[in-house]
Structures are given as C-alpha cells and as structure tokens.
C-alpha cells in the first residue's frame, strides 16, 4: 500500500477549548487507485488531506508513505520526500499571480533541492492537460477550469506517486468538472495514486473507493472496482 | 519559450514588481533611514574634522584684538566671515614686548568689498613671515618662501588657480599657492605678506573703506605664545585690565575651539538621538508592514509549502524579498543624499556656523559601508519575525477549508 494513515487525529485549541478537526481516522490508498473523501464543509477533510500530504503534523497517529513514517521526519527530509513524490492541489485557486502559467508549472522544480530538478517538461504537461496554449498567459487571464488544469499540470511536474487534490472541481461547471475528473482517471490509469475531496455525487461514483467524513471522523463507504482493476477493500 | 530560473531572488523581484505601491512605500522608508543615517554620519564626521582642523590651525596661546571684536575674530577664523578691525599701532608694539610673551606676531585683516562687481567677499590676511608662527609654516608648505611682492596664497574655496591672477581693489595679484581645505575661515581667505597687505589697506581706504586708523601702521591682531610657566588666562586678564583704556582685549583660540566643540557635542547628540529614534521607528513601521503583508500573503506562501518548499526556503524567500527592498531603499537614500549633500554642502557648512571639514570619502568608506549596511539590513531584520511565522503557519493557510 502506497499510503496508509493509521488512527490519525488532529486537535486545535480554539478560544481556550480543544477542538478536534480529525479524530482517529485511518485510510489507505494504493498505486493506481482513485480514492475520494466526501463530507460536509468543516468536517475535517482538508485537514486530513494536509496530514497525509505531510503538510500538517498529526496530534496522534502515523502516516506511512511507501513504508516510511512521514510523521517522524524532520521538515527538510519531509519536504525532500514530499516535493517529488506527493503532488498537492490545494482548494481554490493556487497559482501565483506574479508568475506566468509556464513559470507556475515549473515552480516546484525550484523549491526543492537542485538534484531533484528532473521531471516532465512543463510545456508537455500543459499540453497533456489541454492548457498548452496558455503557457505565456498570467493567472488573472484564465478561467476557473483553466486555472484548475494548470494546477494539475503543476502538481504532476515531478511525476509524483501520489496526487492529492482538495475539491479540484468545486467551483467548476459540470462539463469542466467531468473533464478535469477525466484527467485524474487518466493519471490513475498511468499508475499514480490519487486521493481527492469532492462533493459531486456523479464523480464520487467514478472513484475506486470512497470515505465519508463527518465531525472529524472518517468512515469507509461503498466500494466499487474500476475497469482498470483498483484495490478492493 | 526561454526558461528563466525561478530562484528566490527572481521570485522576490516578481512579487515586488507586482506590488509597486507597497514596494515603493517600504523602499521609501529605508531610503529615508539611509538618508538620515548616512547624512548624520557625514555631518558628524565633517564637523569633527572642522573642529580638529581648527585645533591644529589655531596654534597660538592668545590673540590680542580690539575690544568688541572678540566675536568677529572667531567668525573670521572659524567660519570665514570677513571682518576688518584695527588696533592702535603704538599700543600694538608695546603689547608685543610685554613680559611673559615668548613670541608674538602681528596680523592685518582686510575684508574685501561686498559689491556686485566682486565675485566673492573674502578675508585678506597680511602676516609677517619672519615672526609668524601660526600660519607661516603652513603657508610655506603651499608656496615655499611665502608670497612675495604682488603675490598671494589663497584658501581652498577661493576661486583662483595657482599661476593665475586675482584682483583686489586696484591691483592684480599672482596666485602662488592654494591651501588644503581646513573647514575654517582660512578656506575663504587670501594671505599676503605684511607690506603687500598695508598697500592693499591703503587702496581699501582710497576706495572708501572705513574704520582704518590713519597712522599707517595699523594691525588687526597679535598672535602670542606665552613663555613656559605663564598662565595664559592670567596673562589675558592682565592685558584686559591694563589696556582697558586702549580698547584692547584678548581671545584664547583654544577657548574658541572648546566653544565650537561644545556646540558640536550638543549638535551631534541631537543627530545621534534623531538617527536612533528614526531607526527604531523605521524598524517598527517596517515590521508592522511586513507583518500585515505576511498575513495577506500567507496563502501564497502556503502554496510554496504545498509544492515542496521547506520552512527554511520560505524564510529565505521572505528575507530575500526584504533584502531587495532594503538594497533598493538604501541605494536610493544614499544616492539622494549624495546629490543633496554635494549640491548644498557649502550652504550647509555656512548655515551651521561651525568649523566644517568633510573627511575624504576614502577615509570614511568603512563607516559609510557599515551605516549603509545597517540601513540595508533594517528590512530583513524587521521581517525576520514575519518570515519565521510564515514558515510555521503557511501550511495551515493552504489547508483551511472554505478558503
């Protein structure tokens, strides 16, 4: 199993009281799997994604990525691992307004170590997500669907083994949402593991597995097998 | 498409260019800081240089002058305010022979006319090359043998070149030497031997100059060194009392310097206090602006984090950005200061009413570099807290749901 979260919890202090964002959650994602997490706003989905992406340390529990417990790694080592192996697409627009589209896509190459600057060409990735013609544009000139495509291209730049996307189709119309989701299916078909948050029932149906989150608690839900043959739990 | 390396510097420049108003405000604060700090340093060094120069040049124990002209001699020597005052010739001769006098020499001051026909009003100083022990050695270094008949040695700010000629009253004088800057009245003075000075004084009277005694032997002041063991204060007191009816007074040059030093000390204290206050204020305002900016841009830094940036890399990006702001501001401030300072230095030195001698930039280079660096580094220091906070919190900003 590429990613295993074991009984992770995350608590915050809010106005002096302890608030539990994620409580005793466990999940697994294998290579080539497309796994979705659903749940109401504020249920803890994004926090869970942040924990499994190595962006937030859990208060309790462990996250095992490719056999290594990333909750025990120091920031520099964790970033070295996360940069090339875990692609993360944040919720909402996340392109830097001061950079062109092509520079936004290339950005991850310059945030890690020099040795890690190998990867698929940015222009080729933009072509792959259908945004090749936007390379010289700036984010302010792009539509919501185009912004999302560029974000996906950026997350794929270093050919990650795990791609995490937080509501990647949240503000898109059904056609754009379906097209973007199609991209994720293609990526999963090529072998990458995908973990995403979505509210769209039509898209949830196309996932290999589904988790529901409510009040910080995660529950495995109905499971189906994609034609490509994902792991069945 | 040409690929550019997205180094922290490049990212910083892009970010700064995208927010020109914010960048201009931040750099403007640093420019003001650099202007004041470097300006304060130059001013302090120049005033210190002036006082030190005065201490070296006023190498006599006492100056005997007419009563009522004690301030004038200070103005003429320290600040270049042309003055003309005269002692009775007979009394002067008697004073030079007083008990306790080790060496004495007469000087004759003539102020050129302040008229539209004259390019500048200057102080002419006639001295006796044989007996003078104050300016003669110094003049000797500028023109060996001193000025002869029809010759003059000019101060550094007099508009004349060695070998050229300058007209005073009715006569042209050949410039045989030009003195190094002193920061004192000597810079706007012209030196000539006593015989030539007396001729000039006669022409001065013929052209309408007033207040000159008719005895033909007028002198303006006597520079005196007292014998070892003679108390110069007591010596001065005795002259003031003994020659009260002859309208003779005594100025102690070192007290002139001491007064100037006292004034300088007060001024430098104000400059230092203002500079320190400004640094603290600037650092506080910069820290506040960086903190506000950090809050506003937290999600942007969260994106960096999500894309694999370490906390240290985020901190480096923030500090690079603030260092660029600091560099732009410090260069702008230093540049503006250079323009203002070099354009108005003379006016400044006159309005300060104190001896003023700017050391060479080469001699000031280490201190200037240090002060420039203090200005440059103010933004990185002010942004350090924000940078560390960004490193700690940026990831949370990208995780927050509903953003």
Best of A11, A96, A121 to disrupt the B interface by mutation (most B CBs within 10 Å)?
A96
Out of B302, B308, B399, closest to residue A108 by CB: B308
What is the DSSP code string of A46-112? HHHHHHHTTSS--SEEEEEETTEEGGGS-HHHHHHHHHHHEEEE-SS----TTS-HHHHHHGGGGTS
The answer to which of A145-149, A219-223, B54-58, B392-396 has the lowest mean pLDDT is B54-58
pLDDT tens digits for range A187-227: 899 999 999 998 888 888 889 999 999 999 999 886 554 54
Work out the pLDDT band at A41, boundaries 50, 70, 90. Answer: confident
Q: Answer whether B308 sits within 8 Å of A75, measured CB to CB.
A: no
Q: At what angle do helices B311-352 and B20-57 cross, to 10 degrees?
A: 40
Which of the 8 DSSP states describes residue B250? E
Q: What's the pLDDT tens digit per position in B340-360?
A: 988 887 777 767 666 777 777
Q: Name the one residue in this structure whose structure tokens are 């920031």.
A: A75
Residue with token string 């960048």: B23
Look at residue B120 in the predicted model and tell me its pLDDT.
67
Comparing CB atoms, the residue among A83, A92, A96 nearest residue B308 is: A83
Tell me which H or E stretch contains B178.
Answer: strand B171-178
Facing B18 at nearest CB: one of A98, A123, A135: A98
Q: Flag the least confident range among A4-8, B74-78, B303-307.
A: B74-78
Kindly state the average pLDDT of the residues B36-51: 85
> Is residue B403 scored above 60 in pLDDT?
no
With an 8 Å Cβ cutoff, is A223 touching chain B? no
- DSSP letter at B216 equals S
Q: Between A41, A98, A109, which is nearest B14 by CB?
A: A98
Between β-strands B165-168 and A17-29, what pairing exists: parallel, antiparallel or unpaired? unpaired
Cross-chain residue pair A108–B402, CB shorter than 8 Å: no
ipTM surpasses 0.90: no
What mean pLDDT, rounded, does chain B reach? Answer: 84
Residue A174 has pLDDT above 80, yes or no: yes
Which residues in chain B have their CB less than 8 angstroms from residue A112's CB?
308-309
Q: For residue A107, list chain B residues with Cβ-Cβ distance below 8 A.
A: 6, 304, 307
Give residue A120's pLDDT.
55
Question: Does A108 contact B1 at a Cβ distance shorter than 8 Å?
Answer: no
Instruction: Pick A55's closest partner by Cβ from B11, B17, B398.
Output: B398
**Are the beta carbons of A94 and B303 separated by less than 8 Å?**
yes
Contacts of B317 (CB under 8 A, 6+ apart): B8, B11, B12, B301, B304, B309
* Whole-number pLDDT of residue B114: 65
**Residue of chain A minimizing CA distance to B317:** A111
Q: How far is B370 from chain A (nearest CA, A)?
A: 33
For residue B353, give the 3-state DSSP assignment. Answer: coil
**Residue B9's closest chain A neighbor by CA?**
A110
Residue A165: what pLDDT? Answer: 93
Q: Between B5, B14, B306, which is nearest A90 by CB?
A: B306
* pLDDT at site A231: 39
A49 touches chain B (CB under 8 A): yes
pLDDT of B176 strictly over 50: yes
Q: Of the ranges A78-87, B110-119, B204-213, B366-375, which one carries the lowest mean pLDDT score?
A: B110-119
Q: Which of B22, B298, B306 to mutate to test the interface with A (most CBs of A within 10 A)?
A: B306
Across the interface, do A96 and B399 touch by the CB < 8 Å criterion? no
Domain A3-223 superfamily per CATH:
P-loop containing nucleotide triphosphate hydrolases (3.40.50.300)
Give the per-residue pLDDT at B241. Answer: 87
How many beta-carbon pairs under 8 angstroms link A with B?
A: 91
* Closest CB to A42 among B14, B311, B401: B401
A112 and B308 within 8 Å at the Cβ level: the answer is yes
What pLDDT does residue B288 have?
Answer: 92
Q: Give the tens place of pLDDT for each residue, B381-392.
A: 999 999 988 888
Q: What is the pLDDT of residue B23?
A: 92
Query: At CB < 8 Å, which residues of chain B contact A?
Result: 1, 3-7, 11, 14-15, 17-18, 299-300, 302-313, 395-396, 398-403
Q: What is the pLDDT of residue B94?
A: 85
- List CB contacts (< 8 A) between B11 and chain A: 98-99, 110
| Residues of chain B positioned with their CB less than 8 A from the CB of A56 | 395-396, 399
- Most distant CA pair in chain A, distance: 51
Residue B115: pLDDT above 80? Answer: no
Instruction: Work out the average pLDDT over B217-234.
Output: 87
Residue B310: what pLDDT? Answer: 87
Cβ of A220 under 8 Å from any chain B Cβ?
no
Model confidence at B402: pLDDT above 60: no
- Those residues with Cβ within 8 angstroms of residue B153's Cβ, 6 or more apart along the chain or in another chain: B139, B142, B143, B146, B147, B175, B176, B177, B178, B179, B190, B191, B192
Q: Is A42 an interface residue toward B (CB < 8 Å)? A: yes
From edge to edge, which strands make up the β-sheet containing A60-65? A17-29, A3-14, A60-65, A68-69
Q: Which of A110, A170, A214 to mutate to test the interface with B (most CBs of B within 10 A)?
A: A110
pLDDT for residue B78: 65
**What are the residue ranges spanned by the domains of chain A?**
3-223
Q: For position A185, what pLDDT does the model report? A: 92
Neighbouring CB atoms inside 10 A of B348's CB total 16
pLDDT bucket at B121, cuts 50 / 70 / 90: confident
Q: Across the interface, do B307 and A111 touch by the CB < 8 Å criterion?
A: yes
The residue ranking higher by pLDDT, B213 or B157, is B157
Nearest to A82 among B5, B308, B396 (CB): B308
More reliable by pLDDT, B10 or B115: B10
Per-residue pLDDT at B79: 64
């Amino acid at each position: 199993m590429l990613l295993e979260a074991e009984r992770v919890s995350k608590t915050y202090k809010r106005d002096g009281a302890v608030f539990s964002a994620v409580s005793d959650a466990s999940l697994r994602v294998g290579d080539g799997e497309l796994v979705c997490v659903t749940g109401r706003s504020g249920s803890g989905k994004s926090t869970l994604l942040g924990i499994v992406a190595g962006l937030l340390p859990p208060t309790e529990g462990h996250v095992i990525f490719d056999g290594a417990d990333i909750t025990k790694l120091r920031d520099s080592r964790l970033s070295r691992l996360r940069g090339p192996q875990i692609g993360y697409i944040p919720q909402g627009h996340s392109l830097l307004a001061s950079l062109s589209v092509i520079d936004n896509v290339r950005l991850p190459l310059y945030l890690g170590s020099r040795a890690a600057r190998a990867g698929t060409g940015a222009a080729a990735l933009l072509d792959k997500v259908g945004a090749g013609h936007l390379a010289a544009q700036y984010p302010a000139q792009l539509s919501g669907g185009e912004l999302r495509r560029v974000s996906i291209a950026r997350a794929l730049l270093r050919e990650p083994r795990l791609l995490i996307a937080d509501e990647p189709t949240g503000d898109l119309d059904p056609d754009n949402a379906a097209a973007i989701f199609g991209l994720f299916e293609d990526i999963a078909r090529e072998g990458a593991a995908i973990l995403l948050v979505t509210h769209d029932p039509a898209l949830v149906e196309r996932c290999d597995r589904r988790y529901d989150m409510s009040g910080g608690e995660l529950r495995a839900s109905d499971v189906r097998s994609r034609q490509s043959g994902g792991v069945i739990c | 498409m040409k690929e550019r390396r997205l180094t922290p510097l490049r990212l910083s420049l892009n970010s700064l260019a995208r927010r020109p108003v914010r960048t201009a405000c931040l750099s403007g604060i640093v420019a003001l800081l650099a202007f004041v700090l470097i300006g304060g340093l130059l001013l302090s060094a120049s005033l210190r240089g002036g006082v030190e120069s005065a201490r070296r040049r006023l190498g006599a124990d006492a100056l005997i002058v007419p009563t009522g002209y004690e301030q004038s001699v200070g103005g003429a020597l320290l600040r270049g305010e042309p003055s003309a005052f005269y002692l009775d010739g007979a009394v002067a001769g008697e004073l030079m022979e007083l008990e306790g006098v080790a060496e004495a020499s007469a000087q004759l001051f003539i102020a050129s006319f302040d008229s539209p026909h004259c390019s500048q009003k200057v102080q002419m100083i006639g001295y006796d090359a044989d007996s003078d022990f104050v300016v003669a050695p110094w003049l000797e270094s500028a023109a060996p043998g001193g000025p002869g008949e029809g010759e003059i040695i000019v101060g550094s700010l007099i508009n004349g070149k060695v070998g050229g000629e300058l007209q005073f009253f009715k006569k042209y004088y050949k410039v045989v030497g030009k003195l190094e800057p002193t920061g004192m009245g000597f810079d706007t003075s012209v030196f000539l031997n006593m015989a030539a000075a007396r001729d000039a004084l006669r022409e001065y009277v013929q052209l309408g100059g007033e207040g000159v005694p008719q005895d033909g032997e007028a002198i303006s002041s006597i520079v005196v060194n007292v014998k070892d063991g003679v108390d110069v204060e007591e010596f001065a007191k005795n002259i003031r009392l003994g020659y009260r009816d002859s309208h003779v007074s005594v100025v102690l040059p070192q007290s002139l310097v001491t007064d100037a030093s006292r004034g300088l000390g007060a001024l430098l204290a104000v400059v230092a206090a203002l500079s320190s206050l400004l640094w603290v204020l600037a650092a506080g305002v910069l820290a506040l602006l960086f903190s506000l900016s950090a809050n506003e841009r937290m999600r942007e830094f969260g994106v960096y984090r999500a894309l694999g940036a370490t906390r240290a890399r985020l901190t480096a990006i923030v500090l690079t950005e603030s260092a660029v702001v600091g560099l732009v501001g410090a260069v702008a401030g230093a540049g503006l200061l250079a323009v203002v300072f070099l354009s108005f230095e003379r006016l400044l030195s006159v309005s300060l009413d104190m001896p003023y001698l700017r050391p060479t930039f080469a001699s000031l280079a280490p201190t200037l570099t240090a002060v420039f660096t203090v200005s440059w580094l103010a933004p990185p220091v002010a942004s350090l807290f924000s940078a560390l906070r960004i490193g700690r919190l940026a990831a949370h900003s990208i995780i927050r749901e509903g953003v």
